[in-house]
Structure formats: C-alpha cells, structure tokens
C-alpha cells in the first residue's frame, strides 16, 4: 500500500503526522502491514523556496500511489501575482478527475452543537461536492477566465454530462450504501436550476440517473433554501449532491454546526485515484504550537482506509477504518477528547494520544471477545 504524503503548509504538517500515526496504529491492531510513504513537497512554502508549487515530478508520483493524503496548503502571505492562493491541490483534482468530494458532517457527544434543538445531537449527513468543474473550473490552472483586464473579470461555470453523470451515480450509490448501514439513504439534489441553465442541466442529469436507482428516495432544494434548511433542520437530510462552489460553501456551514472545521474530514474520489485531506486551512498562526485539532485529518485517514479497502480488495482495511471512527466516537462519549478548537484543554499531541489509546483498548476488547 503506497501513500503519497503531502504535508503542505502550516498545521498541515502537524495534522498529517497525527493522522498517519493513527492510521498506522489501526493497521497494526488489525494485523495489516504499514503503508509505504512517498513524501512530496508542495504548497506555498515550497513555492516561496523554489518557484514551484509542487516538486517537479510530484504530480506524477502522486498519481502512481494507491492514495494521496494532504495536510493543508496555503499561506496568506504568499500568493500568485493575481492575488490567488498557491493551490496545487486544485490541479491534482483536475489532473486525476477527482470529481466526488465527500464531506461527512457528524455530531459527536460533548462536542459543541451550535443549534439549541436537541435533534442537533443526531446530525449525520454527507455533502457530496463535485470537485473538478462548476465555478472552480476557472481556478484549476488560473487560465480559464473569459475576460481578465482592469475593468472586468468573468469566470466559467462548467457542467459536463460525463463528469456530472458520474457524480450523480456516485451519489445514488453512496445513499444506497448509507441506507444499508442504517441511515435514511435519502438523496437531495441541491442546485439553482430556477436561474442558471448550467444548473438546470445539473438537475436534468440527476433525473436521468435517478431511473436506475428506484430504491433511493430523492428530493430537490435550491442552494439558498438548502443553506437555510441546514440551519433550521439539518437532521432532515442524509446525502446532498451539488455543484463545486455550492458544495464548498455548504460543507463549511455544516461543519460549523458540529463543532468547526477541525472536524471536517474530506475525501476526493475519481475513477482511479483518491485524495484525502482535512477540509480546513493551514492556520499558520498556530503552526507548531500544539494547538491544532487533528480530528479532521484523523477522520480523513479513516475515509482513506475505507477507499483502499475497496480499491485494493482488502476488506480488513474497512475494519481499521471503523476502529478509528469508533475510537473517536468513544473519546467524545467519555468526554476524553477536548480539542483547544472547542475551548478544551487538549492540544494536537494529547488528542492524538487519546485516539491512539482508544484504538488499543477497542482492539484489545474485540480480541478478548473473539477468544
């Protein structure tokens, strides 16, 4: 199992190392060999030092791995001449066709809940964000704007049949899998089909795919109404599928409902490659200070193991992923995970050590029951 490891900038280094420590522990406890890492330098810091946002052969090496794990990229003080951030990960999405951006949103006991309604304790949904087209299509290479001058800039919003059909098929399959695991399995198409021809096309393709999944209940919501509903009644939703920019905004909003971006795990899946990362930024102001919440990265590591379980046909890797997820759940249930992000007293190292201890305890208990 080969992992292209891009630690990146700021706290990306801290949380990537924490996540890989937890992944390795879960693999050991399930009797698996440890991964081989290909460490690839990329990000704003690398750009400042070399003029390259990723090593010269970094993209090729990333594509050759079984999965890519990214810490975080970007530094506010280092930008392109046009003011945009250093963002090689957008190019990785484009190069490897990572169209399915999976953003789980889950409430944990004893973690902050921003909504007073007691039903907020049961929030458990997934925002599926198309990650290669939409309004981000212009940003992938910084060369796809229609007009760039001192008076006007126009960016392209692109929706293609090929990519969006694959996205919707992924969405229906995800909803079906979640239903098999006990979730409602309800799929909502989120768009602005009443205004934009591109997003009416997005909905049209959703309806075309829908016929092959008669067992999956569906709904529709305009993105502005969906933003309102994520505040009013997020517990009514299970899987949301949406365009790139809409998904970017909604997933951050939803992350805030369950504690913050330090809980925002992310998987970006294509036909042959998967990239996994916490959805938060690089937070250089707390880099190296043992203050970052590593749980988004750790949970992204679990998503990576689930993905590799299917890709490599190794079901035991899903057991390792579940070991990580259950350890985080237990830690919150027992109020033993208290990240500083939530006003708690535990830094990056203490949170990581606590998750590691639960992995050991959970695996040991399972072994005893098996004996």
Domain end residue (candidates: 214, 231, 257): 257
pTM over 0.85? The answer is yes
Claim to verify: residue 218 and residue 245 sit in the same structural domain: yes
Contacts for 311 with CB less than 8 Å, ≥ 6 apart: 66, 67, 274
Same domain, 1 and 82: yes
Distance between CA atoms of residues 365 and 371, nearest Å? 10
Q: Are residue 203 and residue 328 in the same domain, yes or no?
A: no
Question: Are both 185 and 146 inside the same structural domain?
Answer: yes
| Domain contains 104 | no
Q: What is the pLDDT of residues 235-284, one digit of tens each?
A: 999 999 999 999 999 999 999 999 888 999 999 999 999 999 999 999 99
| pLDDT by 10s per residue, the chain, length 371 | 999 999 999 999 999 999 999 999 999 999 999 999 999 999 999 999 999 999 999 999 999 999 999 999 999 889 888 788 888 998 999 999 999 999 999 999 999 888 999 999 999 999 999 999 999 887 765 455 667 777 888 888 999 999 999 999 999 999 999 999 999 999 999 999 999 999 999 999 999 999 999 999 999 999 999 999 999 999 999 999 999 999 999 999 999 999 888 999 999 999 999 999 999 999 999 999 999 999 999 999 999 999 999 999 999 999 999 999 999 999 999 999 999 999 999 999 999 999 999 999 876 655 443 43
* Enclosing domain of residue 31: 1-97+268-371
Backbone angles phi, psi at 4, to 5 degrees: -80, 115
The answer to whether residue 106 sits within a structural domain is: no
Tens digit of each residue's pLDDT (9 = 90 or more) over 71-112: 999 998 898 887 888 889 989 999 999 999 999 999 999 998
CA distance 291 to 345: 9
Contacts 24+ apart (CB under 8 A), 346-353: 347/289, 347/290, 347/291, 347/292, 348/11, 348/14, 348/15, 348/18, 348/290, 348/291, 348/292, 348/293, 348/294, 349/18, 349/290, 351/18, 351/293, 351/294, 351/295, 352/18, 352/21, 352/22, 352/294, 352/298
Residues 231, 137 share a domain? yes
Taking the C-alpha atoms of residue 255 and residue 253, their distance in angstroms, rounded to an integer, is 5
Final residue of a structural domain among 257, 290, 315:
257
Instruction: Give the domain CATH number at 168.
Output: 3.40.718.10
């Amino acid at each position: 199992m080969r992992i292209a490891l891009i630690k990146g900038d700021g706290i990306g280094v801290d949380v990537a190392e924490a996540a890989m420590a937890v992944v390795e522990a879960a693999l050991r406890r399930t009797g698996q060999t440890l991964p081989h890492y290909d460490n690839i330098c990329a990000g704003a810091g690398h750009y400042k030092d070399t003029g390259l946002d990723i090593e010269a052969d970094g993209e090729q090496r990333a594509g050759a791995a079984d999965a890519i794990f990214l810490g975080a990229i970007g530094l506010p003080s280092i930008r392109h001449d046009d003011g945009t951030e250093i963002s090689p990960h957008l190019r990785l999405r484009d190069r490897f066709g990572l169209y399915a951006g999976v953003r789980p949103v889950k409430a944990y006991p004893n973690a902050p809940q921003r909504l007073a309604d007691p039903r907020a304790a049961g929030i458990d949904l997934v925002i599926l964000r198309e990650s290669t087209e939409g309004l981000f299509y212009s940003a992938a290479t910084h060369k796809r704007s229609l007009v760039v001058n001192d008076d006007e800039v126009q960016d392209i919003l692109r929706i293609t049949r090929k990519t969006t059909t694959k996205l919707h098929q992924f969405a229906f399959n995800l909803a079906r899998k979640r239903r098999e695991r006990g979730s409602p399995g309800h799929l909502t198409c989120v768009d602005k089909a009443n205004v934009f021809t591109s997003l009416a096309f997005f909905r049209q393709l959703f309806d075309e795919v829908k016929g092959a999944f008669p067992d999956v209940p569906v709904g529709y919501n305009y993105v502005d109404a969906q933003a309102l509903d994520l505040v009013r009644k997020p517990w009514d939703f299970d899987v949301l599928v949406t365009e790139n920019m809409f998904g970017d905004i909604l997933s951050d909003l939803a992350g805030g409902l369950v504690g913050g971006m330090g809980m925002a795990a992310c998987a970006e899946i294509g036909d042959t490659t998967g990239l996994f990362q916490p959805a938060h930024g690089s937070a250089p102001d707390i880099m190296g200070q043992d203050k970052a919440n590593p749980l988004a990265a750790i949970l992204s590591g679990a998503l990576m193991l689930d993905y590799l379980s299917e890709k490599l046909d190794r079901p035991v890797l899903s057991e390792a992923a579940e070991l990580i997820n259950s350890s985080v759940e237990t830690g919150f249930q027992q109020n033993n995970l208290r990240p500083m992000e939530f006003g708690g007293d535990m830094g990056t190292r203490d949170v990581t050590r606590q998750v590691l201890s639960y992995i050991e305890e959970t695996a040991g208990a399972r072994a005893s029951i098996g004996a």
